[in-house]
Structures are given as structure tokens and as C-alpha cells.
Amino acid sequence: MTDAFRARLDANVATSVARIRAQRVPFYERLNDAQLAGTFKRAFEAAAHDLVRGEPDQLLRLLRALGAERSQQGVAVMDIVTGLNLGFQVVSEDFAEHFAGDLEARLAWESARGRIAYAGAAALADTYLEAREAVVRAQAEELVALSLRVLPLYPGIVVLPLLGEIAAERAGQLTQVLLAAVARHACRFALIDLSGVPGFDAEAAALLVRAAHAVELLGATPVLVGIRPAAAQAMVERSLVLARLTTLADLESGLRHALGRLGVTFTQAGPR
């Protein structure tokens, strides 16, 4: 998967440049094609380094540096995050075609994408908060909406990756977004990825469990994945009933579980 990412890097840079041009994002419209290509290439090269490393590192450093620089230029944080998400979406679409018959490789990429992209977005937001706190506060609703984006992983399966602390208000938004996505995609399984959530209060924990049960009312199966110890403790303290809910260690385990219940089987691929 990493070798394919590097081999297709230039092609995906070119596609990303064309795609961001079509989006007409204000900041990127100021750049010429060579500058745009350089921006995407630096990000992809940093991501390639992190794929080898197995954890976010170089991309975080790049985004922190970019965040400090762009915030001083008055660039909206959402412009930068939009470019990041667009670039990774281009890779996802390319891999879906390139690895059409290799679900294992696609799963490996989506799992890595989740770790790298969401950590990168968090680092970028933190940097903006330090450099331009007033601007970030004004754009808070947009950032929350981004962090509550539901991603289709496979026909009948969606994932809601969550990032950062979850307060009661945000947990309520989570329910609305998740239920709308389950209905829109006619889902059989909804994975709620809590690996990026360090913790939440007891009220938010109760709302999260209610959201999972609401998913059941729409005929889908909720699966909680990646619950951290602090988050689990909040649920225990509130004496929340999880017996009816499936909980698994991580997103990959959740996706494998859902695919298995859908009757999808695949073989273990060799090293890449």
C-alpha cells in the first residue's frame, strides 16, 4: 500500500490540483498551478513518511508550520482543511480503482488515512487557536460540522470518526448527523469511532449511547470502536447499559465485523 501511494503520488497531485480548482476555494485560487502542485506534493510526501512510520508525525509538523504561516496571512482554517480532505479523498478514490479487487489494501489505506488526516486536522486547528483564537472561534461551527462527517466505507457500512472532547451539545449534533447518514445510505452498520476522543462527561456519554440506540430504530446496527479508558470510565460512572451494543477495539476490527455480518470475505494479502 505504501509503495502504491508513492508510485501514484504525482498522478494524485495532478488530480488534486484539478479538483481544488473546480472547488474554487478562496485561498487556493490565489496560487498558480505550480504552487498548488508543490503544496499537495509536500503534504503527500509527509503522509508517505507517516505511512511508513505507522503514526502521524511529519504531516503534523508540516500542518503546524502551515497553520502558523497561513493564520498570519488571514487564510481561513477551513480552506486549509478543505484542501487536506480533498487530497486524501483523491487518494481514496484512486485506491478504490487501483485496488478494486484487494479489500485488504483499501482497508489498510482507510485506516491509515483516519489516523493521519484527523490528527493533522487537529494539529492545524490547535495552531490556528494559538495564532488566531478569535478567528477560529468564529469558525467553530464549521469545524464541528467537519469533525462530524460520516464516511461511507462499503455499501451498507458507514463510519463516524470523532475527534476531541465531546460535550453534551456536540453529542446532540452527533445524533442528528449520524441518523441522517444512516437513512441516506440505507445502512446496515454504523461504526462510531471513538479512538480520537480522549474523554467526555457523563451527560455526553449518555447521549452517545442514546444515539447508538436510535440507530437501531432505523434498522441498522451501531458498533462502538476504539473506546479509550477515560471514555469507558465515564460510561461506567453513569451506569450506562452497553450490553446490547457491540464494542470493538478499533476501526479495523469494527469494519471486519460488519463485513463478516454482511457475508463479505477476503483473504489476507501479502506484504506491500
36 or 68, which is more confident: 36
The pTM score is 0.52
CA dihedral angle for residue 201, residue 233, residue 127, residue 51, rounded to 10 degrees: -140
* Residue of 180, 248, 235, 170 whose CA lies nearest to 209: 235
Cβ partners under 8 Å of residue 188, min gap 6: 156, 157, 219, 220, 221, 258, 261, 262
Summarize pLDDT for 139-151 with one digit per residue, the tens.
555 545 555 578 8
Domains in the chain with CATH codes: 2-146 (1.10.490), 149-261 (3.30.750.24)
Mean pLDDT of the residues in the chain? 82
Tens of pLDDT, residues 147-178: 557 888 889 999 988 877 777 666 777 788 88
pLDDT at 171: 72
Closest CA to 186 of 164, 208, 154: 154
Higher pLDDT, 230 or 224: 224
Question: Binning pLDDT at 50, 70 and 90, where does residue 40 land?
Answer: very high
Question: Please, which pLDDT band fits residue 262 given cuts at 50, 70 and 90?
Answer: very high
Q: Look at phi and psi of residue 198 and say left if phi exceeds 0, alpha if psi is from -120 to 50, else beta.
A: alpha
DSSP state of 269: P
pLDDT band at 272 (very low <50, low <70, confident <90, very high): very low
C-alpha cell belonging to residue 183:
437513512
CB atoms within 10 A of CB 225: 22
